[in-house]
Amino acid sequence: MLKPLAITFLTTSLPWLGAVHAASVSSTPAQTFHGIGGSGAWWPNDLYHFPDTVRQNLSSLLFSPSGLGLSSYRYNVGAGGVGVSNPTRAPQTFYVSPGVYDWTRDAAGVYFLQEAAKRGVPHLTAFANSAPAALTSNGASCGGTFVRGTGAAYGTYLADVVAHFRAQGVNIDLVSPMNEPDSSFGPTPCGQEGMQVQPSQRPEVINGMYNALSAKGLTSSVGILADESNNLSNAGNEYASWLPQVLDRVAAIVHHTYDFPSDASYSTYISNTKNAYPSKVTWMSEICCSLGNPDGTGKGWSQGYDPTIKNALMFAGLVFQSLVLASEPHYDFWTLVSNQLGCSPLNNPSCPTTANSNGWNDGLIYYDPNYATNKNYAIYIKKQFWTYKHFGNFVKPGSQRHPIIGSDANKFTMAVADASTYYILAMNPNAADTSLTLTFPDAACATQAFRTSATEDFTQLSGAVKSGSSWALALKGTSLTTYIFDRTRSC
């Protein structure tokens, strides 16, 4: 009876194999990181009216190392908000007429752009949801389309905006002329700005942008991002019809992931795009608004506010998917700050810390939607703020990912190295505590760790524990921990 014997052997061996949890950091770097960030739409229009102490605190929470330490900020170049029903989502435009601008407009957006610059955020993107109303098909900032023949005028406007800020020391280095070009976000009255740009029109938008930057000698200092498609499946289907015509004028191919792709679909998108356009990197420039579990099950576009570790780890899993599975160099979350709490903090003090189905997971920091009438200027930090801080603080531009290899390498674990330090970001999405034994390819001496869990917000802990020639990293249930190692010495 050979068969039953073999089965007995396998079942007794499996638990032993599963308990090993050992892996190594590869000596060969993968991608070099470019930035971790998020967008300035549309909260600046509200937060600008908060007391200055709060605006300064918020700026530190977003842009300073003591806060998220973001290395990317996306400034929304307004199209005037014509046709947009929600005033918070109707940013002013500098555009008056061709070549005539009113630089006093959009004081709210400009304030936080300047705060980002002042606090040293190295990558600043100017992105637009629509051309100024005067240039679109319906004379509005949403519900219409790009008009053939306006590429030069639109590009000139955006290049003038970029040049204006650069002259003030706000070094915008990326520009994105069409955010989610597949939708007009109409009909009017619309919930936000938007302008449909057909795939066949996208080369004109890119060429207009490039030529205008070129006329100012800015093509080597300001890169063009395109096309910010809503999702990977749509993006991948459309590239062939426009991208080859302007490939050399695009700095990076950027996408959103509102289809919440499986690992298999994301990998397919990456390999197809790399095969067709090997000279270009792709990156993630917008995501929000999902419920779901720490291991990623149940994710998908949906309403609902969840300020707990459950949702914070689900979103951390999306960052790992883009940076580890897809090996992309840059990641931007969507609006950073939101009023979509779904409840009233003054009526119910537990509102900001309790999940509800009326709000939205579109921010890391929240504020009272009724602040203008009730004068509640408090800001509320969601657990996702603390998990995103691991990426903002430890995945810095110029550092490199080193793959973690071995049979127990985990898709939620990432090694980041600069010349002097290894950062191991490790997430345990399960309830049970585990431990990972990690081996390094060269010198490494544990220094300290930071952990975010149900009860800890980026809490400082002692470092990993030496275990022979390896290091033992304790991974508490449902947590994200970063273990830091000095690369300049062994110990």
Picking from 260, 363, 256, the residue whose alpha carbon sits closest to that of residue 306 is 363
281 is an interface residue for ligand NAG by CB under 6 A:
no
Q: Which stretch binds ligand NAG (CB under 6 A): 195-203, 206-214, 227-235, 355-363?
A: 227-235
Do 229 and 261 touch, CB atoms closer than 8 A? no
Considering the complex, what minimum distance in angstroms separates the CB of residue 180 from ligand NAG? 7
381 is an interface residue for ligand NAG by CB under 6 A:
yes
230 is an interface residue for ligand NAG by CB under 6 A:
yes
Binding to ligand NAG (CB under 6 A) within 56-95 occurs at: 57
Pick the binder of ligand NAG from 115, 259, 362, 368 (CB under 6 A): 259
236-245's contacts with Cβ under 8 Å and 24+ in sequence apart are 236/268, 236/269, 236/272, 236/273, 238/182, 238/199, 239/273, 239/276, 239/277, 240/276, 241/199, 241/200, 242/199, 242/200, 242/202, 242/203, 243/202, 243/277, 245/203
| Alpha-carbon dihedral sign for residues 105, 204, 180, 75 | negative
Pick the binder of ligand NAG from 231, 311, 321, 393 (CB under 6 A): 231
Q: Total binding residues for ligand NAG by CB under 6 A?
A: 10
Place of tokens 């949403």: 142
Binding to ligand NAG (CB under 6 A) within 149-188 occurs at: 182-183
Residue with Cβ nearer ligand NAG (245 or 376): 376
Do 31 and 328 touch, CB atoms closer than 8 A? yes
Considering the complex, what minimum distance in angstroms separates the CB of residue 395 from ligand NAG? 23
Considering the complex, what minimum distance in angstroms separates the CB of residue 258 from ligand NAG? 5
Across-strand partners of 286? Answer: 256
Q: What distance in Å separates the CA atoms of residue 184 and residue 335, rounded to the nearest whole number?
A: 19
Residues 350-379: x where in contact with ligand NAG by CB under 6 A, - otherwise, as a string: -----------------------------x
Q: Which stretch binds ligand NAG (CB under 6 A): 101-109, 118-126, 226-234, 289-297?
A: 226-234
Which helix (H) or strand (E) covers residue 211, if one does? helix 202-215
459 is an interface residue for ligand NAG by CB under 6 A:
no
Q: What distance in Å separates the CA atoms of residue 459 and residue 474, rounded to the nearest whole number?
A: 14
Considering the complex, what minimum distance in angstroms separates the CB of residue 91 from ligand NAG? 22
Measured between alpha carbons, how far is residue 222 from residues 59, 130, 158, 251 in Å?
24, 20, 11, 9
Residue with Cβ nearer ligand NAG (256 or 402): 256
Picking from 266, 270, 250, the residue whose alpha carbon sits closest to that of residue 258 is 266
3-state SS, residue 407: coil
286 is an interface residue for ligand NAG by CB under 6 A:
no
Pick the binder of ligand NAG from 234, 268, 303, 400 (CB under 6 A): 234
Binding to ligand NAG (CB under 6 A) within 3-62 occurs at: 57
Q: Can you give the binding site for ligand NAG, defined by CB under 6 A?
A: 57, 182-183, 230-231, 234, 258-259, 379, 381
